[in-house]
Amino acid sequence: MALISIASSLWFEETPLGATLNFRSSDKIGGMVFRVGISHESLEHFNGSLRGPSCLWTIKDGSLTVYGDREELSLTFSSVSGAYREAAISLYGEELHAFKTAIHAFAVRRQTTLN
Give 34-68 pLDDT, tens digit per residue.
Answer: 999 999 999 999 999 999 999 999 999 999 999 99
The torsion angle over the Cα atoms of residues 115, 49, 38 and 1, rounded to 10 degrees, is: 50
> Among candidates 35, 33, 7, which has minimal Cα distance to 21?
35
Query: Is 115 a residue whose pLDDT tops 50?
Result: no
> Among candidates 78, 72, 74, which has minimal Cα distance to 92?
72
**Local confidence band at 13 (pLDDT 50, 70, 90 cut-offs):** very high
**Local confidence band at 111 (pLDDT 50, 70, 90 cut-offs):** low
The torsion angle over the Cα atoms of residues 71, 53, 80 and 7, rounded to 10 degrees, is: -30
Q: Which CATH number fits domain 3-114: 2.60.40.10, 3.30.9.10, 3.10.20.520, 2.30.31.40?
A: 2.30.31.40
Query: Is 69 a residue whose pLDDT tops 60?
Result: yes
Query: Is 77 a residue whose pLDDT tops 50?
Result: yes
pLDDT per residue over 82-106, tens digit each? 888 999 999 999 999 999 999 999 9
Contact 19, 13 (CB under 8 A): yes
**Local confidence band at 114 (pLDDT 50, 70, 90 cut-offs):** very low
Rg of the chain over CA atoms, in angstroms? 14
pTM of the model: 0.89
Domain ranges in the chain are: 3-114
Helix or strand run (H / E) with residue 74: strand 72-78
